């Protein structure tokens, strides 16, 4: 029975790794990231129907037809997350370790003529990280999870008519990640107490997808934008290694051999739609919605190259749900070179209560942003600040220490999260 509980826990832990992220979400549901451009961040990511820079490759590639010449943009967002857990069992409070993250972007566009513009984007669409203390209540569920994804996205935009532009692209996604957790060996040596062991899973994978964008301008002051990113199936291969304390009985050591594990996960399709109004110049106003198809993550099947806790395959149900988000962005052109930005976004979360756990403690959230956009000759500088607060999320389910199954190690309680982010981007046109 203990071996079966451990196996379920191992599958669950590796699933956290395989979904790429145990980190604070960045105004994206689940583990999606939407910090691709400081100007867009300043407008609450409501830039589906208008743009001034090459970050449109991510939000709606049809918009790059609006950009003149050749443009190169480099950008990054510095993210300062804060998360804490208040235990229902002991009343004790644990906080994630201080950390800083830097999802970054590179975008290039080139206008060949009035009809055709091409672009290339490199960005981080999913990821980030979280680190819980090694002695926290949920240490047998998760302690450290890290990941990085890079999406290489060439696109081409074609103006079909004076009022309609269509774009298409290919997504080449690369992934690498690490998951660490503790192993409750005392539950296996009871009644003799024993130090915790450790598990570390490292792996990488890749996948291919596609994206489309459409821009319709029915009136000189109105623009409608729609963009779509397909699901991406990522094949992941990794190594599970175990750090057992000296003196571990051989019968226990044999349960935890270092092994290769492989699985696949389908990253969600994403749909964006926005309406922009420019008839109140110097004010530009956009409202947008986002749909993410997280129901693709309904279960996780993992296969090992050798028995781990007596089995070579596990299946875990996740049952995530699709989500909707809505956002508003405002741009006020103070002068020809300077604009002030502001935005708001509300995000839904895809994780049901039954499968909610501390590695991806997502919740419904609110994002408030401000920023500025400054044009100096051939350069454009974007600066933005965002504050995101997630609603308190209560864990009250059976996910616990997989070996003992004890409620004392369930990490049931209240999770509170917020984060600060500062975005900067620099665009050069020639």
pLDDT of residue 303: 82
- Give the CA distances from residue 373 to residues 322, 329, 340, in Å, rounded to whole numbers and listed in that order: 34, 14, 7
Q: Which CATH superfamily is domain 2-429 in?
A: Outer membrane protein transport protein (OMPP1/FadL/TodX) (2.40.160.60)
CB 26 within 8 A of CB 40: no
**Phi-psi region for residue 30, left (φ > 0), alpha (ψ -120 to 50) or beta?**
left
Biggest alpha carbon–alpha carbon distance for the chain? 78
pLDDT at residue 26 in the model: 58
* Predicted local distance difference test score (pLDDT) of residue 7: 45
Is 238:179 a contact under the CB 8 Å cutoff?
no
How many Å apart are CA 353 and CA 399, to the nearest integer? Answer: 11
Distance (Å, rounded) from C-alpha 213 to C-alpha 72? Answer: 20
CB 88 within 8 A of CB 396: yes
Cα–Cα dist 86/93, whole Å = 5
Q: What is the pLDDT of residue 12?
A: 42
**HSE-up (13 A, CA, CB side) for residue 171:** 29
413-429 and 70-87 strand pairing = antiparallel
pTM for the whole thing?
Answer: 0.89
Distance CA 426, CA 381 (A): 5
Give the pLDDT of residue 28: 67
Length of the chain: 430
Q: What was the pLDDT predicted at 422?
A: 97
Q: CA 358 to CA 132: how far, in whole Å? A: 9
- Determine the Cα–Cα distance for residues 73 and 153; give it in Å rounded to an integer: 14
The per-residue pLDDT string of the chain (430 residues; one tens digit each, 9 = 90 and over) reads 544 544 444 444 444 434 433 344 556 678 888 899 999 999 999 999 999 999 999 999 999 999 999 999 999 999 999 999 999 999 999 999 888 888 999 999 999 999 999 999 999 999 878 899 999 999 998 898 887 899 999 999 999 999 999 999 999 999 988 889 898 988 888 888 889 999 888 889 999 999 999 999 999 999 999 999 999 999 999 998 899 998 888 988 998 899 998 888 889 999 999 999 999 999 999 999 999 999 998 887 778 898 877 778 777 778 999 999 999 999 999 999 999 999 999 999 999 999 998 888 889 999 999 999 999 999 999 999 999 999 999 999 988 777 777 777 899 999 999 999 999 999 999 9
Do the Cβ atoms of 312 and 269 come closer than 8 Å?
no
Phi, then psi, of 250 in degrees rounded to 5 = -55, -35
Q: Please state whether 10 falls in left (phi above 0), alpha (psi between -120 and 50) or beta.
A: alpha
pLDDT score for 17? 38
Predicted pLDDT of residue 128: 72
Residue 220 class from Cβ within 10 Å (0-12 exposed, 13-18 middle, 19+ buried)? Answer: exposed
């Amino acid at each position: 029975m203990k071996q079966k509980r451990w196996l379920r826990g191992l599958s669950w832990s590796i699933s956290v790794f395989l979904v790429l992220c145990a980190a604070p979400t960045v105004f994206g549901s689940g583990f999606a990231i939407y910090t691709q451009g400081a100007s867009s961040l300043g407008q609450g990511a409501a830039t589906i129907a208008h743009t001034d820079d090459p970050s449109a490759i991510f939000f709606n590639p049809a918009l790059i037809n609006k950009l003149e010449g050749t443009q190169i943009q480099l950008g990054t967002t510095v993210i300062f997350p804060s998360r804490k857990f208040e235990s229902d069992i002991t009343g004790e409070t644990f906080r994630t370790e201080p950390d800083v993250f830097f999802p970054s972007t590179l975008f290039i566009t080139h206008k060949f003529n009035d009809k055709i513009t091409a672009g290339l984007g490199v960005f981080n669409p999913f990821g980030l990280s979280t680190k819980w203390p090694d002695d926290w209540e949920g240490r047998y569920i998760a302690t450290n999870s890290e990941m990085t994804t890079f999406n290489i996205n060439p696109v081409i935009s074609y103006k079909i008519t004076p009022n309609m532009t269509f774009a298409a692209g290919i997504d080449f996604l690369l992934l690498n990640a690490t998951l660490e957790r503790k192993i409750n060996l005392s539950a296996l040596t009871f009644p003799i107490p024993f130090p915790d062991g450790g598990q570390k899973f490292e792996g990488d994978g890749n996948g291919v997808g596609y994206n489309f964008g459409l821009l319709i301008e029915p009136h000189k002051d109105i623009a409608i934008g729609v963009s779509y990113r397909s699901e991406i199936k990522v094949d992941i291969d990794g190594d599970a290694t175990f750090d057992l304390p000296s003196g571990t009985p051989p019968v226990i050591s044999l349960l935890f051999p270092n092994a290769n594990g492989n699985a696949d996960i389908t990253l969600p399709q994403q749909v964006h739609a926005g309406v922009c109004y420019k008839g109140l110049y110097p004010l530009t106003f956009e409202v947008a919605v986002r749909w993410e198809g997280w129901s693709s993550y309904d279960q996780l099947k993992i296969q090992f190259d050798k028995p781990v806790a007596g089995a070579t395959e596990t299946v875990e149900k996740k049952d995530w749900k699709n989500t909707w988000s809505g956002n508003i962005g405002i741009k006020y052109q103070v002068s020809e070179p300077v604009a002030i930005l502001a935005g708001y976004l509300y995000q839904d979360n895809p994780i049901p209560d039954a499968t909610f756990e501390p590695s991806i403690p997502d919740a419904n959230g609110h994002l408030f942003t401000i920023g500025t956009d400054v044009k100096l000759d051939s350069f454009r500088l974007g600066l933005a600040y965002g504050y995101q607060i997630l609603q308190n999320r209560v864990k009250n389910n059976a996910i616990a220490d997989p070996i003992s199954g004890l409620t004392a190690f369930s990490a049931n309680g209240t999770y509170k999260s917020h984060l600060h982010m500062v975005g900067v981007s620099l665009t050069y046109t020639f």
